[in-house]
Amino acid sequence: MIIVLRPDATEKQINHIIERVKKLGLKPWVSKGVERTIIGVIGEEDTLRIQPLEVFPGVEKVMPILTPYKLVSRNFKKEDSHIEIGNGLSVGGERIITMAGPCSVENEKLLIEIARKVKQAGATVLRGGAFKPRSSPYSFQGLGEKGLKYLAKAKKETGLLIVTELMDTRDMALLEKYADIIQIGARNMQNFNLLKVVGQSKKPILLKRGMASTLKELLMSAEYILSEGNFNVILCERGIRTFEEYTRFTLDISAVAAIKALSHLPVVVDPSHATGKWGLVASCTKAAVAAGCDGLLIEVHPNPEEAFSDGAQSLLPENFASLMQDLRKVAEAVGRKI
Hey, where are the domains in the chain? 2-63, 83-333
Which pLDDT score, from 0 to 100, does residue 23 have?
A: 86
CA pair distance 87, 85, nearest whole angstrom: 7
**Helix, strand, coil shares, percent, the chain, to 5:** 40, 20, 40
Residue 46 corresponds to which amino acid? D
Query: Which three-class secondary structure state does DSSP give residue 41?
Result: strand
pTM over 0.95: no
Query: Which three-class secondary structure state does DSSP give residue 35?
Result: coil
Question: Matching CATH topology for 2-63 and 83-333?
Answer: no
Which pLDDT score, from 0 to 100, does residue 26 have?
A: 84
CA pair distance 139, 123, nearest whole angstrom: 29
E-only strand ranges, the chain: 2-5, 27-32, 37-42, 59-63, 83-86, 89-91, 97-101, 125-127, 161-165, 181-184, 205-208, 233-237, 267-269, 295-299
Tell how far CA 249 is from the center of its chain. 19
CA pair distance 166, 239, nearest whole angstrom: 20
CA pair distance 130, 145, nearest whole angstrom: 7
For the domain covering 2-63, report its CATH number.
3.30.70.1140
Which pLDDT score, from 0 to 100, does residue 140 have?
A: 67
Write out the chain's pLDDT in tens, 338 residues. 888 898 888 999 999 989 988 888 888 888 887 777 888 888 776 666 666 778 888 888 888 888 889 999 998 898 999 999 999 999 999 999 999 999 999 999 999 999 999 999 999 999 999 987 766 776 666 788 999 999 999 999 999 999 999 999 999 999 999 999 999 999 999 999 999 999 999 999 999 999 999 999 999 999 999 999 999 999 999 999 999 999 999 999 999 999 999 999 999 999 999 999 999 999 999 999 999 999 999 999 999 998 888 899 999 999 999 999 999 999 999 999 99
Which pLDDT score, from 0 to 100, does residue 135 have?
A: 67
Q: What are phi and psi of 237, to 5 degrees?
A: -90, 120
Which pLDDT score, from 0 to 100, does residue 20 have?
A: 87
Which pLDDT score, from 0 to 100, does residue 45 have?
A: 65
| Span between the terminal Cα atoms of the chain, in Å | 38
Query: Which three-class secondary structure state does DSSP give residue 277?
Result: coil
Beta-strand pair 2-5/37-42: antiparallel
Which pLDDT score, from 0 to 100, does residue 27 have?
A: 86
Of 2.60.60.20, 3.30.200.20, 3.40.50.12280, 3.20.20.70, the CATH number of 83-333 is 3.20.20.70
